[in-house]
Structure 1
Amino acid sequence: MTFTIMVVDDEKNIRQGLGSALEMDGYNIVLAENGQDAQEKLKHELIDLIITDLKMPKLSGEELLKYISSSFPTIPVIVLTGHGTVENAVNAMRDGAYDFLTKPVNLDHLGLLVKRALSNRELIRQHEMLKEEVEKIEKRRQFNKMIGKSSQMQAIFELINQVAPTKASVLITGESGVGKELVAEAIHRQSNRTEGSLIKTHCAALSESLLESELFGHEKGAFTGAVGRKKGRFELAHKGTIFLDEIGEINQSVQIKLLRVLQEKQFERVGGEDTLDVDVRIVAATNRDLIKEVEKGNFREDLYYRLNIVNIHIPPLRERKEDIPLLYSTFLVEMAEENGKVIHGLDVKARMALNNYSWPGNIRELRNCIESAVVMSKGPVITVDDLPPHIRNNEEGQMIKLTIGSTMAEAEKEVIRNTLIHYKGNKSKTAEILGIGRKTLHRKLHEYNLEEEFSKHA
């Protein structure tokens, strides 16, 4: 991500000198000779930061600052001033300037100030880009809550499209928290059964006796407490879809009745004699290895093959980390709105912590993490300190070891090299994570003789 900085000064040497220095740091530069010139260029250029002198002909820096504050409030402005007009600069900060520098300008101090001023700008741009990407994905697909741009998720979206219009039973597998229920919802929405109901049953949440009654219903007096006839989930799902979550938890008795529904489309209520016909599609899910359960004798082999006409396996989040930014960006918007907060995004350390964590609880854990961070945040940017302790103190991420006495250049080289290795040579991702422009990264690669090592990567 390369930022564009506008330098506004009526002194040509200062204007061009600052522009050249900033260009060497990897920024795009736009030069303006006074406030009026800057106003015109702001109408046609996308500017991320403005450095402006105060005393200029035609339109002063003070007047330019007022214009920017009202028309482009998100653009930070750094004011340049002579020693005699420091009071004016302080007043300018009250009018919305980010900071001020006195002439002659210390380029090292300017570089640090520019990076700091652009840090929030970068977060806002990153957050907006992710929001746009999420919106584009939403328009491209019809999976509503399902989010992912990884090749694994794209394959799942295609499989849902292919399978949904059919009558085939579907078995969704994957760890807890990966979004199996969302896949079931997508299958139902994409099917020709959308006018019917999607009835969900969590098989592990009910006792054996209650589960049979919940699924197939019961007659009055069938057991103690059965004070009247009750329709089961299969009756309620007639002409629609039934989602059986944690199917691996059901007992042998229920398995036999379920197999009959799959084979004959018939069943009886608990305590009843009437045989009921039902037209229902079964979508089941499990985090267990059902083949192993079959081998142990816990799950009927014939039922397994009836359920597993089509298998959709959802990989854990740690195996598709490219989906993490889209997910946390979506949750950030959702949680900020729910909690009445204004959140612009996450800082670099927070993003790295989220990327490096293995997410044993998958998407559910990530969502809870973002909710916690939004609630705990003290400002508009989520920092690593806002994250839950086990994530911010996570030691699973790649550590970079440096010998005491290493120079700053050696440390910087190792950080760049290891970040590139971690992201498999992806220079765009590396520049984004390190908070520098691609031009700066390429310059550093040349400076540290790393070009050949990563020359094959984009």
Structure 2
Amino acid sequence: MTKVLILDQSKSVRNILRERLEYEGFSAEAVENEAAASALCERIPFDVILSDTECKVPDAGIPFIALSADTSIDTAVKAVRNGAQDFLTKPIDMNRLLQSLHRTIDNPAPAQAPPAAPPVRRRRAHSAQAERIIGVSPEIEHVRQLIDKVAPCEARVLITGENGTGKELVARWLHAKSVRAAAPFVEVNCAAIPSELIESELFGHERGAFTSAVKQRKGKFEQADGGTLFMDEIGDMSLAAQAKVLRALQESRISRVGSDRDIEVNVRVVAATNKNLREEIQKGNFREDLYHRLAVIVVRVPPLREHAGDIPALVEHFIRTIASEYGSAPKPIDADALAELQRMPWSGNIRELRNVIERLIILSGDRITARDVKEYC
């Protein structure tokens, strides 16, 4: 069983990560400082460490992944230069964390490796420019046209679609083509944050507002001031948090937890969900007034099975991208292998397709064949 050490000053973060990792089948221990981490590392052969950038990682030769509430490029670059295998921003997206853990475990490197020794895998550069939207089908072209029409205005947008269809990419293009493009694009995954922490994440808190609030912290609304706030999986937000978001949208002002002072914010909100919010309204799980505030424009991102004709272009793109990340030449793929991929149901949509292509690149021979697709997919 893979052993993970969590190093973070926040007790709530430690508890959440530990519970989620144990649920996913990992063995996890959690500590709040370097001394405790060093003591545990002497007794337990950990495979990887998850460490907040505010903490010092023990020099135990264990690969580590850096976690930080600071989304700046400088912080990410500093973490990687200090030996981090990867850099993830808080609140932690569990899907990304699990992918990062598996990459780190599969391609281990010493946590304090010298800068001259590059990692096995190249990391994708963080860029303000969104990746291009791949595909020429009428369904994808319709999405592009909507983005071009809607991006320049200030209207709020609700992006709907199944998991893995590319809702975040649509949100990034709405920002990139807007007048706010030079301002921050801040994302928050509403499903990944416990209900008791969502208010602090969105609106921030004052020092001493609750037990683990050791310093003042700006929330996502303040971080996105002047830019775009992307609220992913908004259908999973509690009713109490929905009420506060509604007030923020109505009044363009927020109040940090533990403060009685209002702060004006200038934010364009783009929301996304994989749920049918009208059905959630009928069930009493989502506020109808909030829905109408968010859904001024609705952009539906189609599932991959509805534009399977785009699969060859997507596969070619992923082969080039993944080959670049691994520092190898793109691997050719046979036409009958592409045909097999187009016949698959793709319940996980484009995200699943990318994972499958990476698997095929690793496990196939000199080229990807139909036999490879049948064996490994």
Q: Please indicate the TM-score interval, normalised by the length of the shorter structure.
A: 0.5 to 0.7
Q: Deviations over 1:37-74 (max 9, x none)?
A: xxxxxxxxxxxxxxxxxxxxxxxxxxxxxxxxxxxxxx
Uncovered stretches (5+) of structure 1, i.e. residues with no partner: 1-141, 392-458
Distance in 1, matches of 2:153 and 2:355, equals 35
Distance in 2, matches of 1:255 and 1:389, equals 46
Instruction: Summarize the Cα distance change of 1:143–1:362 in structure 2 as closer, same or farther, 3 Å threshold.
Output: same
Q: CA contact under 8 A between 1:173 and 1:286: conserved in structure 2?
A: yes
Question: SS in structure 2 opposite 1:238?
Answer: coil
Q: CA contact under 8 A between 1:208 and 1:250: conserved in structure 2?
A: yes
Alignment-derived partner of residue 196 in structure 1? 183
Percent identity for Structure 1 against Structure 2: 47
Aligned pairs for 1:173-212 (under 5 A) are 173-212=160-199
Report the alpha carbon displacement of residue 343 of structure 1 after superposing the two structures with TM: 3.6
Between Structure 1 and Structure 2, whose CA radius of gyration is higher?
1
Report the alpha carbon displacement of residue 390 of structure 1 after superposing the two structures with TM: 6.3
Which of 346, 354, 369 is residue 383 of structure 1 equivalent to?
369
Aligned pairs for 1:14-413 (under 5 A) are 144-379=131-366, 381-387=367-373, 389=375, 391=377
Alignment-derived partner of residue 108 in structure 2? none
Instruction: Summarize the Cα distance change of 1:322–1:143 in structure 2 as closer, same or farther, 3 Å threshold.
Output: farther
Instruction: Summarize the Cα distance change of 1:386–1:341 in structure 2 as closer, same or farther, 3 Å threshold.
Output: farther
**Length, aligned pairs only:** 249
Question: SS in structure 1 opposite 2:309?
Answer: helix
Q: Deviations over 1:219-271 (max 9, x none)?
A: 11111111121100000000000000000011111101110111110111111
Report the alpha carbon displacement of residue 386 of structure 1 after superposing the two structures with TM: 2.7
Q: CA contact under 8 A between 1:343 and 1:382: conserved in structure 2?
A: no
Moved over 4 A (4+): none
Distance in 1, matches of 2:267 and 2:291, equals 18
Q: CA contact under 8 A between 2:159 and 2:167: conserved in structure 1?
A: yes
Report the alpha carbon displacement of residue 302 of structure 1 after superposing the two structures with TM: 0.3
Letter in 2 for 1:354: L
Q: Deviations over 1:97-144 (max 9, x none)?
A: xxxxxxxxxxxxxxxxxxxxxxxxxxxxxxxxxxxxxxxxxxxxx963
Uncovered stretches (5+) of structure 2, i.e. residues with no partner: 1-128
Question: SS in structure 2 opposite 1:248?
Answer: helix
Distance in 1, matches of 2:372 and 2:239, equals 47
Question: SS in structure 1 opposite 2:186?
Answer: strand
Distance in 2, matches of 1:390 and 1:170, equals 38
Distance in 2, matches of 1:143 and 1:319, equals 23
Distance in 2, matches of 1:343 and 1:280, equals 41
Report the alpha carbon displacement of residue 322 of structure 1 after superposing the two structures with TM: 1.2
Distance in 2, matches of 1:343 and 1:192, equals 37
TM-score calculated relative to the size of structure 1: 0.53
Distance in 2, matches of 1:388 and 1:196, equals 46
**What CA RMSD, in Å, does the superposition of the two structures yield over aligned residues?**
1.4
Distance in 1, matches of 2:218 and 2:298, equals 29
Q: CA contact under 8 A between 2:155 and 2:297: conserved in structure 1?
A: yes
Q: CA contact under 8 A between 1:372 and 1:388: conserved in structure 2?
A: no
Distance in 2, matches of 1:368 and 1:264, equals 42
Letter in 2 for 1:244: M
Distance in 2, matches of 1:388 and 1:214, equals 44
Alignment-derived partner of residue 455 in structure 1? none
Report the alpha carbon displacement of residue 301 of structure 1 after superposing the two structures with TM: 0.3
Letter in 1 for 2:322: M
